[in-house]
Amino acid sequence: MDTYHEESLRRDIVRTSHALHARGWVANHDGNLSARLDEPGEPLRLLCTPTAVSKGDVRPEWLLVVDEERRVLQGRRRVFSEIALHLAAYRARPDIGVVLHAHPPHVCGFAVAGRPIPHPFMAEAVVSLGPTIPHVPFRRPGDPALLDALADALQRADVVVLEQHGLITVGGGFEQALLRMELVEHLARIALVAEQLGGVRRLSADDVAALSRKGRPPSDPPRPGAERPEPRKDLPATHVSPATRADVRAAVEEALRRFR
């Protein structure tokens, strides 16, 4: 990759890091971002944020270049512990160019309740995201089962909720991945309001199929020379928690009381 392109990616990572912080989707040292530097056919090499920094403070010179063995090739800071999640995503999807991980509050509300976001319930979201938002059951950080579950989920979608953890979005570039994260957080907020009004009414299977075929071209193209694999048909259904609608309604009412 030429120097100009790498410098452009550095600016994009910084801009996106600051956007995540400004929107309240990360706190403390939460969240991490990465982009591929390697060309198709070359060993995997990432440009990424370091550990132990606020995403509101990230600077271009703080970023690291890391190989697929998690070794720091360039930069003076330490790599974040969740780099394995990013590597698993890139290995599963050679078409993607960036990975974002953050903790948008409404998405995390569903994640910590063990409740999948009840997508699909809005037409535009099906066109933009497809018919599913996978919800991966909790695994401890570093557990190989978590990496396998993420890789499987990314065969079905570009956004994945990690139970009791947060949200991962992928894309050809940072704008696309950030917009996907924005949309999932927006859907989570709408779903919480709908719960207070009696519950979400999902779209019919026929409507979902028709809307999925209308999927818009991505705002960022895949990496040159990399094609997205065909979706697998043998993957397990989205995890569903035994939590009830009443559980969610009670949690929402309690949250609203605290903010009054």
Give the H or E element holding residue 109: helix 105-113
Task: Tokens for 37, please give them.
Answer: 């530097």
State the catalytic residue, choosing from 82, 163, 185, 195.
Answer: 82
> What gap in Å lies between CA 50 and CA 63, rounded to an integer?
6
DSSP annotation of 60 reads G
Give yes or no: 82 in active site: yes
DSSP annotation of 61 reads G
Three-class DSSP category at 161? strand
> What gap in Å lies between CA 80 and CA 34, rounded to an integer?
11
Are residues 90 and 70 in contact, defined by beta-carbon separation less than 8 angstroms? no
Catalytic residues: 82
